Structure 1
Amino acid sequence: MIESLFALTPATVTWTPAVGMVMLACNVAAITLGKATIQQPNVGPAMPGDAKFFGGFSAGAVLGTTSLGHVLGFGAIQGLAAQGLL
């Protein structure tokens, strides 16, 4: 039984600059999507420092868009790795 559980563990992708670029691209896409669709991006606690650096987003908007970017990036990396492209 234990041996069959080990067979279910997926192979992990080793980090390379290409993997980092895919994650970066997905985060940029999510931030762009958030910038276009969030109706009140500056409501809530402000980001520390210069607000212009964060595009006028509040802390919640930054966390939300980058969280979505990481979910998209995870899926993209796993999909590209499964196809042998990463």
Structure 2
Amino acid sequence: MLYTSLLAVARTTEWSPQVGIIMIAACLFAVAIGRPAIKNRGVGPKLPVEAPALFEGFGVPELLATLSFGHIIGAGLVLGLSNAGIL
């Protein structure tokens, strides 16, 4: 009986454009704060596409790191907002 009260299931939402917008905003936020915070930029392979001057020295490892961090932030936002009943 005690275990059933401890195993509460989080309320989640299905994918919608609102969830997509939240994930995009979280990833852009992570890139914005991650780019100046990375100490050794440009160590790994470069991006396969021509990037603007803003992303100079921003390679594949930096892109993967910041977007992974953005997905962690976005997942937390989506879960928190859906549990709060906002989404």
Q: Which runs of 5+ in 1 are unaligned?
A: none
Once the two structures are TM-superposed, the CA of residue 8 in structure 1 deviates from its matched residue by: 5.2
Task: Give the corresponding residue for 1:26.
Answer: 26
CA displacement, residues 29-83 of structure 1 (integer Å, 9 cap, x when unaligned): 1000111211222111111021338813110000000000000000000000000
Report % sequence identity: 33
Q: TM-score, normalised by structure 1?
A: 0.81
CA distance in structure 2 between the aligned counterparts of 1:83 and 1:53, rounded to whole angstroms: 40
RMSD, matched Cα: 2.1
Gaps spanning 5+ residues in structure 2: where? none
1:39 equivalent in structure 2? 39
2:77 match: secondary structure: helix
Q: Which one has more relative contact order, counting CA pairs under 8 Å at least 6 apart?
A: 2
CA distance in 1, matches of 2:54, 2:61: 11
Does structure 1 residue 68 correspond to structure 2 residue 69?
yes
Aligned length: 81
TM-score by length of 2: 0.80
Structure 1 segments, 4+ long, off by >3 Å, are: 7-12
Q: Secondary structure at the match of 1:51?
A: coil
